[in-house]
Copies of this chain bind each other. A is one copy, B any other.
Amino acid sequence: MKNLAKEILNGSISAAAELIRKVEEGCRDANDDLQALYPYTGRAYILGITGLPGSGKSTIANLLIKHYRDKGMSVGVVAVDPSSPVSSGAILGDRVRMIEHSKDREVFIKSLATRGWYGGLSGSAARIINILDAMGKDVIILETVGVGQTEVSIMNFAHTTVLVLVPEMGDYVQTIKAGVLEIGDIFVINKTDKRDPGELLVNMQSLLRNQDSAGGKALWKQQIFLTSAAAGSGFDSLTGAIDGHRKYFEEFKKTDYLIKRADQELKDEIYSYFAGYFMRRLNEDKNYGKFIKQICSRQKDPYSISQEFIAKILGIKDGSLQEK
């Protein structure tokens, strides 16, 4: 067994941090350690917290960390930040609120920037979840924003998803309507100390009723909780509902989940390998500068250049790439 994996299984936090760094940087030599750890995964409960920036989901994550720590459980956090398109690294605003747990050896918090990876973010999140899982974390809290193609696909890794709304988001709910119901297993209207949740609550209840009357005899009944992270109110009922969904998941959804997750992890791995490989080959190609000039001047187009490049790399004839 590789060294880092062995150290991680022996409880080394610095070894875990080192392997996570390798995953983030896209090092292929992380693979041996990830392989060695894989048999020790699949034990953690993965709890997704999602919501728009400003909904207070990090504060809720923070209270949930405390809840699980009070019960003696160890916790890992993977926070996928909305990324700045310009500055390097993620915007760390919310992260500082988790600082109170940062000296607790049983809490491991990892912020994951969403830039720099050509589509590999989902695979990267899965790898880090697996490392935390193999470390023996009882609960892994997975935090993302509630919109965005990649961000929504990452939420597929969660066993239970809590969608955090705030009273001001009535227009958001109106805009995506039934989409809201598909994102969350449990809903939270947060910051109820700042504004009256009445209107949003009525809208959400009406969405849930319409779903029920549409004939869906769902085994899991979605619920809405009012919380105020600042005042610390509403969390007992929320954590009770999360425990309830966990039992439901274990009994009715786990088999399906495992199959879908295996499929997504396998595809992510294949995908990120090729993304990395071909981007490197392209950047190193002596004609790369010429390609860009030809596209800018409209002498050639990105479609034919990419076909020629792919054909060259694969050592096949250009025309055979054409498929229906």
Residues of A in contact with B (beta carbons under 8 Å apart): 27-29, 31, 34-35, 38-39, 41-42, 52-56, 82-87, 91, 93-94, 114-115, 117-119, 121, 145, 147-153, 155-156, 166, 168-179, 182-183, 191, 258-259, 262-263, 265-271, 273-275, 278-279, 282, 291-292, 295-296, 298, 301-307, 309-310, 321-324
For the complex formed, measure the closest distance between the CB of A25 and the CB atoms of chain B, giving whole angstroms: 10
Residues A295 and B149 in contact in the complex (CB < 8 Å), given A53-B175, A84-B176, A275-B271? no
- List 15 extra interface pairs beyond A53-B172, A168-B169, CB under 8 A: A29-B323, A31-B303, A35-B303, A52-B147, A53-B171, A84-B179, A85-B156, A85-B182, A87-B178, A117-B149, A147-B147, A149-B151, A259-B292, A266-B291, A266-B302
Residue on B nearest A30 in the bound complex, by CB: B303
Residue on B nearest A36 in the bound complex, by CB: B301
- B93–A174 contact, CB under 8 A? yes
- A121–B147 contact, CB under 8 A? no
For the complex formed, measure the closest distance between the CB of A20 and the CB atoms of chain B, giving whole angstroms: 15
- B323–A28 contact, CB under 8 A? yes
For the complex formed, measure the closest distance between the CB of A14 and the CB atoms of chain B, giving whole angstroms: 21
Main secondary structure of the interface of A (DSSP, over half): helix
Docked pose: A87 CA to B274 CA in angstroms: 29
Docked pose: A55 CA to B169 CA in angstroms: 9
20 sample A-B contacts, Cβ–Cβ < 8 Å, listed by A number: A27-B324, A28-B322, A34-B303, A38-B303, A42-B298, A54-B169, A54-B175, A55-B171, A84-B178, A85-B155, A85-B156, A93-B174, A93-B175, A148-B150, A168-B168, A171-B191, A258-B296, A262-B291, A270-B278, A270-B306
Q: Which of A82, A298, A321 has the most B CB atoms < 10 Å from its CB?
A: A82
- B278–A263 contact, CB under 8 A? no
Closest 3 CB pairs of A and B: A148-B148, A54-B171, A38-B301
- B295–A265 contact, CB under 8 A? yes
Contact among B53, B55, B179, B282 for A91, CB-based, below 8 A: B179
- A115–B149 contact, CB under 8 A? yes
Docked pose: A55 CA to B94 CA in angstroms: 22
Docked pose: A29 CA to B324 CA in angstroms: 6
Docked pose: A266 CA to B278 CA in angstroms: 11
Contact among B172, B282, B298, B306 for A273, CB-based, below 8 A: B306
- A91–B166 contact, CB under 8 A? no
- B151–A305 contact, CB under 8 A? no
- B182–A84 contact, CB under 8 A? yes
Residues A147 and B145 in contact in the complex (CB < 8 Å), given A176-B53, A176-B84, A306-B270? yes
Docked pose: A118 CA to B152 CA in angstroms: 13
For the complex formed, measure the closest distance between the CB of A244 and the CB atoms of chain B, giving whole angstroms: 21
